[in-house]
Structure 1
Amino acid sequence: MPFMKGIAPIRRTVNYLQSGKLVLKDRVQVFSVHYNRLGDHHKGAREFVFWNLPQVQYKNPHVQVVTFKNMTPSPFIRCYLEDGADVVIDIDGKTKEEIQDHLQRVICKSSELLAKEAIAQEKKDNEANFGYGCQRHCICEMPGQVPCPAVCPLPNHMRGKFKYAVE
């Protein structure tokens, strides 16, 4: 499997991507991380980018995620909001866990809000729903609908074989 090659291939599995805790608020449009490849005070930022940035991208598909390497003396995260404002978060000398906890408190949705959104997103039981995972497998099971041709053959005027036949 080619996706299991390289450094830490676990980062490319769906289970790992889904386990991310950072779900950004709806008003965040751009999430940028500024860090250097060298330096001890940039170590937490490098590890955050390596381990947690794919999860942030997976959990927030409508947010643009950008990294800037070797352009700043101290690491920071800047989030651009939809009203034009930006939030700058200093991550100098922090570990990746401290960065993740701080981001979760500042720019992420709360666990209560995520639970409410999950409940609202669930499929509601509706008589009109049919298919796999619903009460009815086919629409023909609804009263007043045409039955399945496998059970009861359709009249000839409803079949294309007879309707569009060239005589």
Structure 2
Amino acid sequence: MPFMKGPSPIRRTIKYLEAGRLIFKDQLKIFTVNYNVIGSNHAGTKDFVFWHLPQIQYKNPSVQVLTLKNLTPTPFIRCFYETGHQMLIDVDNRSKEEIYEHLINVVGKTGKVLEAEIIAKEKKDNPANFGVLCDRHCICEIPGQVPCSGTCLLPKSWRGKYKFNKAEY
């Protein structure tokens, strides 16, 4: 099977795609990478596109990602924002790791923002949720539910212990 040969199969796994650390800021709408296929100063950019671009596309579904090959003498990355501004990033003679770390620092969301988004995503305003961080502490607070066994005992006929082991009572 040609699908499972070479270095590409690892890039097609969900575990690999979710391992990406670069999540763009909300204002970024278009991300373009310009490089040549031939040339030693383009090697890092070519490796970056091969290894990290699938992760970037997976983590940022609302951002348009383009690769423009063989159109420029020096490799660069251009970011277009929704306000109309552009950012040029020079990636000439850089390795794929240097490019990736630089993009995380420049156009990526900070760790604090990512943590705040995770917390906001976890808290759901669904009335069916109950627990420590929800509106209701226990399901017994919802009308029509069985009362809490800590406040009043259930009838013996409702308990499995009584129903299945009648000889012990």
Q: Tell me which interval the TM-score lies in, with the shorter structure as reference length.
A: 0.7 to 0.9
Contact 1:3 1:12 in 2 (8 A): no
- Measure the CA separation in 1 of the matches of 2:62 and 2:17: 16
* Distance in 2 between residues matched to 1:13 and 1:122, nearest whole Å: 25
Aligned to 2:13: 13
| 1:46 and 2:60 aligned | no
How far off its partner does 1:112 sit? Answer: 1.1
TM-score, normalised by the number of residues in structure 1: 0.74
Q: 2:99 corresponds to which residue?
A: 99
| Residue deviations 1:131-165 (CA, integer Å, cap 9, x gap) | xxxxxxxxxxx6459xxxxxxxxxxxxxxxxxxxx
| Aligned counterpart, 2:32 | 32
Equivalent residue for 1:81? 81
Aligned-residue Cα RMSD (Å) equals 2.1
- Provide TM-score, normalisation by structure 2: 0.73
- Number of equivalences: 134
Cross-structure match for 1:22: 22
CA distance in 1, matches of 2:123, 2:115: 15
Query: C-alpha offsets along residues 25-62 of structure 1, whole Å, 9 cap, x if unaligned?
Result: 00000000000000000000000000000000000000
Match of 1:152 in 2: none
Q: Quick check: 1:31–1:78 contact (8 Å CA) kept in 2?
A: yes
Amino acid at match of 1:9: P
**Judging changes above 3 Å, is the alpha-carbon distance between structure 1 residues 9 and 87 closer, same or farther for their aligned structure 2 residues?**
same
Structure 2, unpaired ranges of 5+: 131-141, 146-169
